[in-house]
Structure 1
Amino acid sequence: MEVDLPTQEEFDRELRLAAMGWLTRRTQDGLEAITSDELLDFSFGGERFRLMDAQRGIRKPRQLASALSIRTVYRADESRRPYADEIGTDGTITYKWRGDDPDHAENRALREAMERRQPLIWFFGVGVAAYKPIFPIYILREEPEKHQFILAPESVADILSSDTPIDDNLKRYAKTESKRRLHQPVFRATVMRAYETRCAVCSLRHGELLDAAHIIPDAEEAGIASVRNGLALCKIHHAAFDKKILGIRPDNYVVEIRQDLLDEIDGPMLRHGLQDHHGRRLMVVPRARAERPDHDLLEISYRKFRTAG
C-alpha cells in the first residue's frame, strides 16, 4: 500500500501551524518569554526541529523553500530601548538585510517568504538568550536601496495589502495595532524578565496578576517602551502608581503612599496592600544596573505624585 508523502507546500504549512501553536502554549498565549534552551524542545514529525538559528538572524530550514523565522538580539544599552526597529506612520516595521549582498542566502530566503506570502515568526530578544515570539509577521515589500525589508503583523498586513488607498485614520489604526502586537508584548516580556516576574513593590510572583507598568505613560514623549521606563507591578500597585496614590523616590527607591490614603481607615486590603509599604524600599529591582528604573523618569513621575491629591 502506497502512502502519499506530503508535498513541500503541505509540509511548510503544517510546520508553521504546529510551531505557532506550540509557541502559543509554551508562552501561555504570549504571557511569558521563552529561552533558547526551551526552544530546543520543539519537535515536528517525531523529530526535534530548530525554530530559531542560534548563530544567524534568519532561519531557513533545508526542508523549506523560504525563511521560517527572524531574530532580533537584545541589547541592554541600545539607545534606551530594547529594540532598534521602528514602527512607521503606516504601522510597518523595518528589518535589515543580512549584510550588504542582496543575493545572500538569508536575504533570498526572506525574499522568497515575501513572494510566497509566508507567515514568519519573529523572535525578539528581551534578555540574554530570552525571546518574545511574535507571529504571524508578513513581509510586505523590500527596499533594496535601504538594504531592508518592510514587515507588518497579520492584521496590519491585511490592511496595507489592499489596493484601496489608505487614509490617515486607517494609518493611525495600523500604527496603533502594530504597537499593540509588537512593542507592548516586547516591553512586557523585557520588564518581566528583568524583575524575575515579581512585583517590585510587594514581590508577588504570579505572572497573570502582574503588569509591565510604564513609569512615564507611553502616550507621552518621554514614555519610551524601554525596560528603564518600566516596573513590574501587581494589579493593585499598578493602579495605585498610575493614579498617583503610590510614588517611588528616585534617589533610593523608597515607596511612598499619598497622605490621604495613609489617614484613611478601611480594612486589611488598604492596610497591608498599601499603607504598610509606605517608607519601604522596593522589594525587587533588576540585577543589572543598565535595566534599573531611569532616575530622570522616576523624578518626573515622583514630582507628579507629590502634587497629586
Structure 2
Amino acid sequence: MFTEAIEKILTDLCTPALVRAVESGGDAARVWRALEDGGFLELLTPEEADGAGLSLAALFPICLAFGRHALPVPAAQSIAARALLRDCPHVPPAGMLTLAGTAYRQADGVFCAPRVAFGLLADVALVNLDGDMLLLDCSVARRQPVGVNASQCATLYWPAQAVGAAVGKNGEAVRRFSAAIHAASMAGAMERVLDMTLEYCNDRVQFGKAIGKFQAVQHQLSVMAEQVAASRIAAQLAFAGDAQVPQLIAAAIAKARTSMAVPQVTATAHALFGAIGVTEELDLQLFTRRLHEWRISEGSEHYWNGIVGQVFLALPDACASEFARASSHIA
C-alpha cells in the first residue's frame, strides 16, 4: 500500500525536469512536502508513536523506488534517521535529515563528515563518530561540493564549538543504514537504466531492424540484466530479517555487490546508446551519474569487501560456502 502511494507521488512529481531543476539550485519543497505531509517519513516509526511501524523488508521496495526515480531529496535517509532517534531523548528535528556513516575530528578540532549524501540540501545530519551518534545542524557547517557536475553530495565541516554531546551510542547503525540505503538506491537506479536501454534498443533501427535484434547487442543486454538482478537480490538481503537495523555483513555484501555492478551496467548502457548517451539532455545521465557517486559514497566495493573478508577470516573452521549461506544471520 505504501509503496504504491509513494510510486504515484514520485511518478507525478519527481519528473526528470524536477530533478534537473533541483540540481540547478531549484526548490525541492514540493516533492518533500508531499512525502512529509503523507507521513511517509515515519514509515519505520512504531505505530504507538504515530508511525507506520513497517519492517525493514517492507521498506526495501520504497528505497528501490527512490533510486528508480532519482529522487533529489534525502527521504530514505530521513526515514532511517527518525527510526534511529526513536530511543533518544531528542525529538527528531523538522526538515531534511541525512546520514553520515563516517566522520572524524581533524587536528585543528574541526569536525569532518566526508561525502555526505544530499549534504548540499540537508538541514540536519545524523553522524557516526567512532560509535557515537551525533545530531548536527548543517546550517552551521561549511559545505564543500564534491566537484561532480550537479551533484548534491558534499563534505561537511563543523567548527568544534558546534559539535555537542552524543545523542546515542549506536553510531555504527548509522553506517549500516547508510550503506543499505545506498545499495537499494543503486539497485533501483540500475533497474531504470536497464529499462531505458532496452526501450532504446527496441526503438533504434539500424540496417533495417531494431538494434536489439542483433546478437552482439542481446549478449550485452543479457549480461547487463544479470548484473541488475544480482544487485537487487544483494540489496534486498540488507533489508531482510526481523532486526530494526541492517546487519553488518548483509549491508556490507549489499553495498559491495551493487557497487561492483555499477561500472559494467553504466558502461554498457552508454555504449548501446552511442553518441547520444553522453549528452546532458538525455535522462540516462541523471541515473548513471548518481550510480557512480553512490558507488563511492559510504565506501566502495573494496572497502565493504574488506569488511566481509575480515569477518570470514575471524570465524574458526568456516568454509566459504557455509559463510555465504549464513551471512544474512551474522551481525
Structure-1-length-normalised TM-score: 0.29
Q: Which protein is richer in helix relative to its size?
A: 2
Q: Specify the structure having the higher radius of gyration (Cα).
A: 1
After TM superposition, the score normalised by the length of structure 2 is 0.28
Report the structure, 1 or 2, having the larger strand content: 1
Higher relative contact order (CA 8 A, sep 6+): 2
